[in-house]
């Protein structure tokens, strides 16, 4: 990698954004990045065009576009990879390191937004606010003799047990909110015995761990069998943590009371994903991270990562 203190002339930097639409669909300008070099932005890049679009770039910015070892080997000018996300599994970091190319991510930018959204999912399962609003608009309330009605059990969270799998920045924030609501909070990291212990007593299980080879398909038939039949499962982490057919089967059989997922194994979701037809399953389109405030922090941090690299002091490097 470039020695500490080395300086790259800003004017020489060609910066390519491969998939910038989700970060800036029109409300979050690239101005802070554009100041740092010659910027070319693509909203979306098909896999077969990644090399063509990146061939002359000094810096490549990616969210979900894959930078494999083969792709990296075909980019002779590449000096720095900026991932506009916290997870960086889209980049072959070892291949980049072998070329002396630092890879930087943006940690913790979405902590508050994801924690807040996690509780939006939990509260929706507890109260089904959207459903009740829909049926009121359809006229069901106006036909009632009593002053109120409810179609689903109304669940009070105070006194319930919240099990958090993965206790990083987001997990900590979720724990704080849970405690503020009067919940008993249990946490587990990578210790699978601890995970099994806490999910068995939990009323709500929420996933906040990265997807790794060790925990892929963590939530499977055996995991779900340990949960209470009255419990909820929340996944605002990574879709690959869950065996979706096993979760659908558990929901349809009433082995757990409900699930809410913001992520699935293949995104956009496939029409044949079994969760689409599962009972008591809320699915949102990977938006927990997407508040404007979080995206603005992500944009600013990306600019800071690039600025630090140009100054010869790269930060947030994941392949040192």
Binned at pLDDT 50, 70 and 90, residue 4 comes out as very low
102 and 115 assigned to the same domain: no
CATH code at 95?
3.40.50.720
Token couple for 146: 């009593």
pLDDT digits (tens, 9 = 90+) for 280-311: 999 999 999 999 999 999 999 999 999 999 99
pLDDT value of position 216: 96
174 domain residue, yes or no: yes
Structural domain including 203 reads 111-283
Ranges of H-type helices in 181-313? 192-200, 221-226, 244-252, 292-310
Distances in whole angstroms, Cα of residue 155 to Cα of each of 53, 68, 136, 139, 270? 51, 46, 20, 24, 31
* Mean pLDDT (whole number) for 258-275: 98
Q: Number of structural domains, the chain?
A: 2
Q: What is the pLDDT of residue 12?
A: 77
pLDDT at residue 2 greater than cutoff 50:
no
pLDDT of residue 318: 98
161 plus 41 within the same structural domain: no
Task: Report if residue 193 sits inside a domain.
Answer: yes
Question: Which residues are catalytically annotated?
Answer: 238, 267, 286
Could you read off the pLDDT of 89-139 as tens digits, one per residue?
Answer: 999 999 999 999 999 999 999 999 999 999 999 999 999 999 999 999 999
Residue 182 confidence (pLDDT)? 98
- In a domain? residue 320: no
* Residue 147 falls inside a structural domain: yes
Q: What are the contacts of 213-221 at 24+ separation with CB within 8 A?
A: 214/190, 215/190, 215/241, 216/240, 216/241, 217/241, 217/242, 217/243, 218/165, 218/242, 219/243, 219/246, 219/247, 220/246, 221/246, 221/249, 221/250
Region 241-248 average pLDDT: 98
Residue 3's pLDDT band (cuts 50, 70, 90)? very low
For residues 118 and 102, state if they share a domain: no
- Residues 248, 125 share a domain: yes
Same domain, 152 and 214: yes
Average model confidence (pLDDT) across the chain: 96
Same domain, 77 and 142: no
pLDDT > 60? residue 314: yes
pLDDT-above-90 percentage for the chain: 95
Confidence of residue 48 (pLDDT cuts 50, 70, 90): very high
Q: What is the pLDDT of residues 145-201, one digit of tens each?
A: 999 999 999 999 999 999 999 999 999 999 999 999 999 999 999 899 999 999 999
What is the pLDDT, as a whole number, of residue 11? 54
Q: Do 151 and 298 lie in a common domain?
A: no
The whole model's pTM is what?
0.92
Is 2 among the domain residues?
no
> Are 156 and 274 found together in one domain?
yes
- Token pair recorded at residue 150: 């409810």
Residue 5 has pLDDT above 70, yes or no: no
Question: What is the helix (H) or strand (E) element at residue 265, kind and residue range?
Answer: none
- The reported pLDDT for the residue numbered 147 is 98
pLDDT for residue 6 is more than 90: no
Residues 303 and 279 reside in one and the same domain: no
In a domain, residue 319? The reply is no
187 beta partners? 164
Whether residue 313 has pLDDT greater than 60: yes
The reply to whether 175 and 279 lie within a common domain is yes
pLDDT in tens, 64-99: 999 999 999 999 999 999 999 999 999 999 999 999
2-11, 55-64, 113-122, 225-234: range with lowest mean pLDDT: 2-11
Report yes or no on 126 lying in a domain: yes
Under 8 Å between Cβ of 105 and 85: yes
Same domain, 139 and 255: yes
The verdict on 182 and 48 lying in the same domain is no
Flag whether 213 is in a domain: yes
């Amino acid at each position: 990698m470039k020695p500490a203190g080395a300086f790259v002339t800003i004017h020489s930097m060609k910066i390519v954004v491969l998939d910038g639409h989700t970060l800036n669909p029109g409300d979050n300008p690239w101005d802070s990045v554009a100041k740092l070099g010659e910027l070319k932005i693509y909203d979306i890049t098909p896999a077969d065009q990644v090399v063509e679009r990146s061939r002359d770039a000094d810096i490549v910015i990616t969210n979900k576009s894959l930078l494999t070892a083969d792709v990296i080997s075909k980019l002779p000018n590449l000096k720095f990879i900026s991932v506009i996300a916290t997870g960086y599994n889209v980049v072959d970091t070892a291949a980049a390191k072998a070329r002396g190319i630092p890879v930087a991510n943006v940690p913790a930018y979405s902590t508050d937004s994801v924690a807040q959204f996690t509780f939006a999912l939990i509260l929706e399962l507890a109260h089904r606010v959207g459903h009740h609003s829909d049926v009121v608009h359809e006229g069901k309330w106006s036909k009632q003799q009593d002053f109120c009605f409810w179609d689903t059990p109304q669940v009070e969270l105070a006194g319930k047990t919240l099990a958090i799998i993965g206790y990083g920045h987001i997990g900590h924030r979720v724990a704080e909110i849970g405690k503020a609501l009067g919940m008993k909070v249990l946490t587990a990291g990578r210790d699978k015995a601890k995970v099994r212990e806490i999910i068995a007593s939990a009323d709500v299980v929420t996933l906040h761990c990265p997807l790794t080879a060790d925990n892929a398909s963590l939530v499977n038939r055996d995991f779900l069998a340990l949960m209470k039949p009255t419990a909820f499962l929340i996944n605002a982490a990574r879709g690959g943590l869950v065996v979706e057919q096993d979760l659908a089967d558990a929901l349809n059989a009433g082995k757990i009371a409900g699930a809410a997922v913001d992520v699935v194994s293949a995104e956009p979701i496939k029409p044949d994903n079994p969760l689409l037809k599962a009972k008591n399953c809320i699915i949102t389109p990977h938006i927990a991270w997407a508040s404007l405030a979080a995206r603005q922090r992500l944009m600013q941090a990306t600019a800071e990562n690039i600025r630090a690299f140009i100054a010869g002091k790269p930060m947030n490097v994941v392949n040192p």
